[in-house]
Amino acid sequence: MAISAAQVKELREKTGVGFMDCKSALAEVDGDLEKAIDILRTRGQARAAKRSGRSTGQGVVGSYIHTGGQVGVLVEVGCESDFVARTDEFQALVREIAMHIAAASPAYGTRAEVPEADVEREKSIFRAQFKDSNKPPVVVDKIVEGKLNSYYQQIVLLDQPSIRDPKTSIGDLVTEAIAKMGENITITRFERFKIGEAPD
């Protein structure tokens, strides 16, 4: 099936991926736009995984002050080069992350930062809810795992659904940015300030 320039243009607008990659993905799935998006996302995640070990010594500290001045955020987002740090695309990503932090108030950046004692406490609470349910242990384990994922989505920045697009997590946004910009990107640290709230 011949892939038209209009189809490639539409896919590029939706994904931000290069012309040839879009054309190739569309050709693989006979022009099916949604399947092509899935292919590009999978490839992007694979590329991002390869770059995840690279040092992110460059980047920017972004800020966001919510209307009214009651909530403010500082966030440090790292990348590999000063060139990428200065691009409009990277700056927009930093701003979006800062706005998300202001709205969603995550407590931690990654799952690894959540204290093990807190995780174990949550697990024990979830297990206690099914103590008398007669469900097999394997089923209870799966339910606990699901509830734990929901817990992480409430408190961990990378797990939280984006306020702009709840179907996409902040981790997905970063992964997509890594694929588009060709460099490793990390959210190094952040701080959220709210009038009247004492620091942790």
Residue 150, pLDDT above cutoff 90: yes
pLDDT value, residue 158: 95
What CATH class is the domain 5-51?
mainly alpha
With respect to CATH, is domain 58-110+156-194 assigned 3.40.50.620?
no
Backbone angles phi, psi at 2, to 5 degrees: -75, 135
**At residue 105, does pLDDT exceed 80?**
yes
Q: Is the pLDDT of residue 40 over 90?
A: no
Rounded (10°) angle between helices 19-28 and 33-51? 120
Token pair 């959220």: residue: 192
Above 80 in pLDDT, residue 122? yes
45 pLDDT exceeds 60? Answer: no
Distance of CA 197 to the CA centre of its chain: 26
What per-residue confidence (pLDDT) applies to 16?
62
Is the pLDDT at 117 greater than 80, yes or no?
Answer: yes
Instruction: Find the range with the poorest average confidence among 51-55, 154-158, 161-165, 179-183.
Output: 51-55
Q: Which part of the chain has CATH 1.10.286?
A: 115-154
Where in the chain do CATH 3.30.479.20 domains reside? 58-110+156-194
The pLDDT, as a whole number, for residue 23 is 79
Phi-psi region of 83 (alpha: psi -120 to 50; beta: other; left: phi over 0): alpha
Q: What is the pLDDT confidence band of residue 53, given thresholds at 50, 70 and 90?
A: low
CA 178 to CA 187: how far, in whole Å?
A: 12
Reduced 3-state DSSP string for 114-182:
CCHHHHHHHHHHHHHCCCCCCCCHHHHHHHHHHHHHHHHHHHEHHHCECCCCCCCEHHHHHHHHHHHHC
Tell me the average pLDDT across 110-136: 87
The model's pLDDT over 55-101, given as tens digits with 9 standing for 90+, comes to 677 999 999 999 889 999 999 999 988 999 999 999 999 999 999 99
Full-model pTM = 0.72
- Whether the per-residue pLDDT at 29 is higher than 90: the answer is no
β-pair partners for 71:
194
**Per-residue pLDDT band at 160 (split at 50, 70, 90):** very high
Q: Please list, in sequence order, all residues whose beta carbon lies within 8 angstroms of the beta carbon of residue 61, skipping any fewer than 6 positions away.
A: 74, 75, 76
Q: Which tokens is 149 given? A: 């994922």
The hierarchical CATH code for the domain 115-154 is 1.10.286
User: Tokens standing for 7?
Assistant: 């189809």
